[in-house]
Amino acid sequence: MDHRAEIRDFLTTRRAKITPEQAGLPPGGGRRRVPGLRREEVAILAGVSTDWYTRLEKGHISGVSEEVIDAVSRALQLDEAERTHLFNLARAAKTTKAPRRRTKPTLRPSVQRLLDSMTTAAAFVRNGRLDILAINALGRALYAPVLDVPAHRANIARFNFLDPRAEDFYPDRDDAADTTVALLRTEAGRDPHSRELSELIGELATRSDAFRTRWGAHNVRLHRAGVKSFRHPVAGALDLDFDAMDLLSGSSEQLTLTAYTAEPGTPSGDALALLASWAATQIDTSADESAR
């Protein structure tokens, strides 16, 4: 990854989102040549010189203290995800040592047992590239369209952008696509030397205009809790609460355990229960066929 270009593009896109009024500055006269704030306005808000901020926006971040980066983050009104991303970009730009040899995460058997014990939740473990590494029965039933095509390699991003069924699977298609790209962009800042991630991004950018456009926006996101909507081919419409938590893996990869649940007695709760019954039927059918 070209760290200077990443820093430049990220800061430029963030600056374009803030108006002088939002920043508490007078609007100023005359026609503005750029959307959002000018560089000199960001410099004033951050308490640095215009020349210094210009160098920073061009990617010259070596020697910049965390306090100054924090000041720029406040000037640009970065949220938690954006601020963390900027610090990750700065850290990667300052690193001169070659990255250490990577070790693939090894999930303890207890993690699968934990997933399997969550019988009323669709739960899975993923990495930052959105590869599903472990999943329980209800999760496998929920994500059946993602998992039933070997070419997707159990990767949510490939399904979202390369499988036409994603249009039906996600009622809010744009939000699902935006979230997917923002999570990959966040991971690229956290782990810029990942060959697997670079290959995935290259594949999606080559094959999907929708991905390529979103990738250029440099949006990042934390994905800890919320509501996600599905239109499942078996269970129908589901609006599920999700909770995501980091999982210690003993490797350089960051793993996340995500669980989808629904309040019992609600339409989504009934649909999720129906999906659980369907999943159990599929397991019983597979077991009968194996016994023959």
pLDDT of amino acid 67? 93
pLDDT of 39-73, one tens digit each?
999 999 999 999 999 999 998 887 788 999 999 99
pLDDT of amino acid 43? 95
Q: Is 231 part of a structural domain of the chain?
A: yes
Q: Domain tally for the chain?
A: 2
Q: Is 138 part of a structural domain of the chain?
A: yes
Task: Please say which residue of 94, 117, 134 terminates a domain.
Answer: 94
One domain for residues 141 and 114: yes
pLDDT of amino acid 253? 81
pLDDT of 204-262, one tens digit each?
999 999 999 999 999 999 999 999 999 999 999 999 999 999 987 666 688 999 999 99
Task: Please say which residue of 63, 94, 125 terminates a domain.
Answer: 94
pTM (2 d.p.) = 0.91
Structural contact between residues 41 and 25, judged by C-beta atoms closer than 8 angstroms: yes
Q: Is 207 part of a structural domain of the chain?
A: yes
pLDDT band at 102 (very low <50, low <70, confident <90, very high): low
One domain for residues 44 and 78: yes
The percentage of residues in the chain with a pLDDT greater than 70, rounded to a whole number, is 89
pLDDT of amino acid 291? 42
**Of the given ranges (111-120, 188-197, 280-289), which has the lowest mean pLDDT?**
280-289
| Full residue range of the structural domain in which residue 88 is found | 3-94
One domain for residues 156 and 264: yes
Q: Is 38 part of a structural domain of the chain?
A: yes
With both helix axes pointing from N to C terminus, report the angle between 50-57 and 3-16 in degrees, rounded to the nearest 10.
120
Task: Please say which residue of 94, 128, 163 terminates a domain.
Answer: 94
One domain for residues 14 and 55: yes
**Residue 256 vs residues 89, 202, 247: alpha-carbon distances, Å:** 21, 23, 5
One domain for residues 207 and 280: yes
Structural contact between residues 120 and 279, judged by C-beta atoms closer than 8 angstroms: no
pLDDT of 135-194, one tens digit each?
999 999 999 999 999 999 999 999 999 999 999 999 999 999 999 999 999 999 999 989
Using the predicted structure, report yes or no on whether residue 83 has a pLDDT greater than 90: yes
Q: Is 40 part of a structural domain of the chain?
A: yes
pLDDT band at 284 (very low <50, low <70, confident <90, very high): low
pLDDT of 14-47, one tens digit each?
999 999 989 998 866 566 777 799 999 999 999 9
Using the predicted structure, report yes or no on whether residue 98 has a pLDDT greater than 80: no
One domain for residues 126 and 159: yes
Q: Measure the CA–CA gap between 214 and 199, rounded to whole angstroms.
A: 17
Structural contact between residues 168 and 204, judged by C-beta atoms closer than 8 angstroms: no
CATH code of 200's domain: 3.30.450.180
One domain for residues 24 and 154: no
One domain for residues 73 and 139: no
User: Residue 82: which residues within 8 A CB-CB, separation 6 or more?
Assistant: 14, 73, 76, 220
One domain for residues 41 and 181: no
